[in-house]
């Protein structure tokens, strides 16, 4: 990582402030004053600011119960964001792992560990995602076989991968996806002539939304949950 970014994150100051500190000779690496903002900080080196050791925050891992009308992006555009629900220092360093639609509720993971989130979202390392859907129309029993066979979504040229559909009640179902396409659950039900009226994500790669979390609440992931998704 570049030195200016390292100091900015570790000390919680802006990059402009870091440049001033560097010019003043306030930063040292392994005992030697350094002034070059673009210098690469070697792993394991001792970085000090005015003689005090600096350490990068994190990595941090959270699960959030996303409520309705909250967006999974880092900038607001007028809406409350998932980051805005976190009462954490330096929360701007965190990002949501993948996205849920504004009108979808449920499990969202947040982290500042880019390699970890990439391992979850990269298409070739897809983690199963489990959703609970409420439908406008009753489901026909053959919907299970249609999901298992793969469905052609509007505007696409290859069918979806086999997906698991469990019918829980006439208009209630659990869906397990092995891939992640844009608005996939809603579009799969649309391909059957039905419509999703509520959607909730229950789990990602075996990590289940904690039932103790009310909408809007979050908690740190346990070490076993972090490892299960690594
Ligand atoms: N599929 C959807 O249609 N919406 C989501 O938010 C997630 C999966």
- 229 within some domain: no
On whether both 70 and 27 belong to a single domain, the answer is no
- 193 within some domain: yes
User: 101 in ligand 1 pocket by Cβ < 6 Å?
Assistant: yes
Return the best residue to mutate from 184, 195, 203 for the ligand 1 pocket (most ligand atoms within 8 A of CB).
Answer: 184
Residue with the two structure tokens 């019918």: 167
- Please state whether the predicted TM-score (pTM) of the whole model is above 0.85: no
Query: pLDDT tier at 92 (50, 70, 90 boundaries)?
Result: confident
On whether both 31 and 73 belong to a single domain, the answer is no
Q: What is the total count of domains within the chain?
A: 2
- The mean pLDDT of the chain is 94
Domain CATH code at residue 27:
3.10.290.10
CA distances from 183 to 99, 128, 228 (A): 10, 15, 25
Mean of the pLDDT values across residues 68-86?
A: 89
CB 229 within 8 A of CB 207: yes
Domain enclosing residue 45, as ranges: 3-54
Per-residue pLDDT tens digits for 179-210: 999 999 999 999 999 999 999 999 999 999 99
CB 133 within 8 A of CB 185: yes
Nearest to 130 by CA among 165, 172, 95: 165
On whether both 147 and 203 belong to a single domain, the answer is yes
Of ligand 1's atoms, which has the minimum distance to the CA of residue 201?
A: 7
**C-alpha 196 to ligand 1 mean position (Å):** 10
User: 105 in ligand 1 pocket by Cβ < 6 Å?
Assistant: no
Instruction: In whole angstroms, give the CA distance from residue 130 to residue 206.
Output: 9
Structure-block tokens of residue 123: 């298409």
On whether both 92 and 117 belong to a single domain, the answer is yes
- 39 within some domain: yes
CB 26 within 8 A of CB 49: yes
């Amino acid at each position: 990582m570049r030195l200016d970014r390292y100091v900015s994150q570790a000390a919680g100051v802006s990059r402009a402030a870091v440049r001033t500190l560097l010019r003043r000779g306030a930063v040292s690496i392994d005992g030697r004053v350094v002034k070059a903002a673009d210098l690469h900080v070697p792993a394991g080196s001792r970085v000090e600011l005015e003689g005090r050791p600096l350490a990068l925050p994190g990595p941090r891992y959270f699960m959030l119960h996303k409520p309705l009308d909250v967006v999974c992006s880092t900038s607001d555009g007028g809406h409350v964001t998932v980051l805005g629900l976190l009462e954490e220092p330096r929360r701007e360093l965190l990002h949501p792992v993948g996205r849920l639609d504004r009108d979808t509720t449920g499990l969202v993971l947040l982290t500042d560990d880019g390699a970890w989130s990439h391992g979850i979202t990269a298409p070739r390392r897809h983690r199963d995602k489990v959703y609970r859907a409420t439908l406008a129309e009753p489901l026909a029993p053959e919907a299970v076989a249609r999901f298992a066979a793969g469905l052609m979504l509007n505007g696409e040229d290859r069918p979806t991968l086999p997906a698991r559909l469990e019918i829980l009640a006439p208009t209630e179902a659990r869906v397990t996806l092995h891939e992640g396409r844009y608005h996939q659950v809603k579009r799969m039900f649309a391909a059957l002539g039905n419509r999703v009226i509520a959607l909730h994500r229950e789990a990602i790669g075996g990590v289940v939304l904690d039932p103790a979390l009310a909408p809007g609440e979050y908690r740190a992931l346990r070490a076993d949950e972090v490892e299960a998704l690594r």
